[in-house]
Amino acid sequence: MSLSWFLDLFGVYKRNTESAEAALDAAYASVDMAKLAFINHIISSYVDARYYQRRLALSKATLNQEGRLLSSRSLSLTPGAVARMDVVRAEGLVQSTLAEIPSLEANFRIAAHRIATLLGKPAGSMVEEIAKGSNQPAFHSDVNVGIPADTIRNRADIRKAERDLAASTAQIGVAEAKLFPSITLSGSISPSGINERGVYGNLTSWSFGPSLNLPILDGRSLRANVELVKSKATISYLNWKSTVLKAVEQVENELVAMHRDARTVQTLKAAVKTAEETLKLSTSSYKDGATSLLDLLEAQRSLSITQASLATAIQQWAKEYVGLNNAIGGCWTGKYQLLEGTGGNFILPNHGGTPR
């Protein structure tokens, strides 16, 4: 039996333990980063799916309205080049609306496929389930995240960079401790049984003593190693500083984008109301014979384009809010009460479930 005891006079093992614990914390932070990216992908894909679903509904409604107007006009078409030209141009608008639908349907299915893949299901297995809903997620609140430097402390990438820095700093202590002498106490006991000419007896040998390691001949190598470890710690520090600065920049940029999108959405909502009023007036004038079919279809087309722009702005606003919560690390701490549609709240999926 042998036993060895290292006298950690200068903290070699202690600092190695600190470095290992910091590296373990950094590994856990890396896992959190992967989970955060996973959640962000699901939410973004869900926002896209509902956006394309909304655009598809708008295009179909516009096509239905244009088709009815064109059909009624064609039945009552009177001879004349001007009337015929109006019908032909109106048919072109209808075909233009019809051409939008295949692309929107394909993009909706692609977003649904992405959600299914992220949840570990076959790509086409969730298209019908997601298609049952129709509310486009929209942000309805004020943005107030406080001071960015305070809110980003929970970010997984910052925690990882800080733990990497702690691990590198601890390794400096390990390298410096190796410059000093080390003492090891070791001993051994060797019992044996002897059977010689019928005589039995026991003989036990043992040894015990200290051993001293003096880093004399390799001192320059050890000092060079200290400088190397310090350089690695400096790199870790610069990486941590860069991560923090980029995080603050990301939060500030997301806040700017959120305020920009808020103004855009409000302006487009007003534009939609104006377009609806214009269509209402154009319909009345058309019934009275004061305007042509083309003027009415143009008003319908203007409303459709404005509604599509509003849907795009709402999609962008929702995504910016997702990005803002991602920037402050909020979605990993249970703060992801983010998006709200007209018919219910948007929540995260639970262990393979479907986002609603």
Q: What is the mean pLDDT of each run of 10 residues along the chain (356 residues)?
A: 79 90 94 90 93 92 80 54 65 83 94 93 89 81 65 84 94 88 79 59 66 75 91 94 90 89 93 93 83 80 92 92 83 39 36 36
Overall domain count for the chain = 1
| Whole-angstrom Cα Rg for the chain | 36
- Which pair of structure tokens corresponds to residue 270? 């007003």
Residue 277 in contact with residue 287, Cβ under 8 Å? no
Determine, yes or no, domain membership for 356. no
Domain CATH for 216 = 1.20.1600.10
Determine, yes or no, domain membership for 352. no
Determine, yes or no, domain membership for 180. yes
CA distance 217 to 228: 19
Determine, yes or no, domain membership for 319. yes
Determine, yes or no, domain membership for 350. no
Give the pLDDT confidence score for residue 98 in this predicted structure: 87
Determine, yes or no, domain membership for 135. yes
Domain limits at 210?
2-345
Residue 49 in contact with residue 115, Cβ under 8 Å? yes
Determine, yes or no, domain membership for 21. yes
For 142: left if phi > 0, alpha if psi spans -120 to 50, otherwise beta; the answer is beta
pTM of the shown model: 0.76
Give the pLDDT confidence score for residue 334 in this predicted structure: 38
